[in-house]
Amino acid sequence: MQSHDALAARASKVTEERERLRSLKAEALALRASLLQDEQLHDARRASLETIRNLLRRATLTADTVLQIIAGLRELGANAKPSYGECHESNTHADREESQDQTLGRDCASEMSARNGQNDRQIESVKKEHIKKDTHVNQTNASQSVGAPTMNRDPAKMAWTDFSHVADFFPDPPRTGEALNRVLFDIGRLLRIRQEKLMRGLQKAGAGRLLLILDYLLGKGEAIRQPEAYFDTILRA
């Protein structure tokens, strides 16, 4: 029994560390994106930021390394709210002083706790690996307006890896509603979409549809100059 409990505790710790690392990577990419908005950005700085992007995609990165990258980006003037991962690092030290600060991920999960039951059901659907080949569904006016073939899918019939752009940054599917919330809000930060906009989107469209929209926007990358406005357009249609 003790052996089983020890293994369960170790697995839980590994999962938490993995989620934190993914969150830190998303934050670093969001900081990088904020620097790329500078129209006066010189070629040397742009090349450095491209190197950082490639570095952040390495599977062997540690949380400490990503924290160093984040610190460097902030010194360059990058601006983005601390993620769950960075807040977790701060709270590790603050706990020694009995700090009552909470991580961003827990805040988000608390605010969206009413949605977690639905999110858990969505996760079960996302985790299914079987997909029907003929999954053409009636697309909404929003899908037609953006002309996106990837927006024509049913998220309930998709495996996690089918959200290919999301899975590129978050290869391991979340297993709880709280973990899914963290992924959604980390992607939103990466795309420079404000938290309140994401919460509204989650309430209106649900976790699966929101994940599909964010995956589409990630695929468009820097071709979309104002991803938040684009996000609003899709939700309103």
Residue 91 DSSP symbol? H
Q: Greater confidence, 2 or 23?
A: 23
Domain boundaries, the chain: 1-101, 104-237
The mean pLDDT value for 127-134 works out to: 39
Kindly report the backbone phi and psi dihedral angles of residue 158, in degrees, each rounded to the nearest multiple of 5, phi listed first.
-105, 145
Query: pLDDT by residue (tens digit) across 75-97?
Result: 888 876 665 555 555 454 444 44
Q: What is the DSSP string of 96-157?
A: GGT-----HHHHHHHHTGGGHHHHHHHHHHHH-----S-------HHHHHHT-GGGGS-GGG
Residue 166 has pLDDT above 80, yes or no: yes
Report the percent of the chain where pLDDT is more than 90.
5
Report the C-alpha gap between 19 and 100 in whole angstroms.
22
Residue 1 has pLDDT above 60, yes or no: no
Residue 139 has pLDDT above 80, yes or no: no
For the CA atoms of 35, 185, 172, 129, the dihedral, rounded to the nearest 10 degrees, stands at -120
For residue 205, give every residue at least 6 positions away whose Cβ sits within 8 Å of its Cβ, in sequence order, or none: 213, 235
pLDDT band at 140 (very low <50, low <70, confident <90, very high): very low
Buried b (16+ CB within 10 A) or exposed e, 54-73: eebeeeebebebbbebbeeb
Residue 109 has pLDDT above 90, yes or no: no
Tokens of 17: 């560390």
Burial class of residue 13 (count of CB atoms within 10 Å of its CB; 0-12, 13-18, 19+): exposed
Residue 234 has pLDDT above 60, yes or no: yes
Residue 53 has pLDDT above 50, yes or no: yes
What value does the mean pLDDT of the chain take? 72
Report the C-alpha gap between 101 and 217 in whole angstroms.
32
Query: pLDDT by residue (tens digit) across 5-39?
Result: 666 677 677 778 888 888 888 888 888 888 888 87
Residue 210 has pLDDT above 90, yes or no: yes
Sign of the alpha-carbon torsion through 111, 22, 149, 50: positive
Residue 229 DSSP symbol? H
Tokens of 237: 């249609």
What amino acid occupies position 208?
Answer: G
Report the C-alpha gap between 166 and 43 in whole angstroms.
29
Find the length of the chain.
Answer: 237
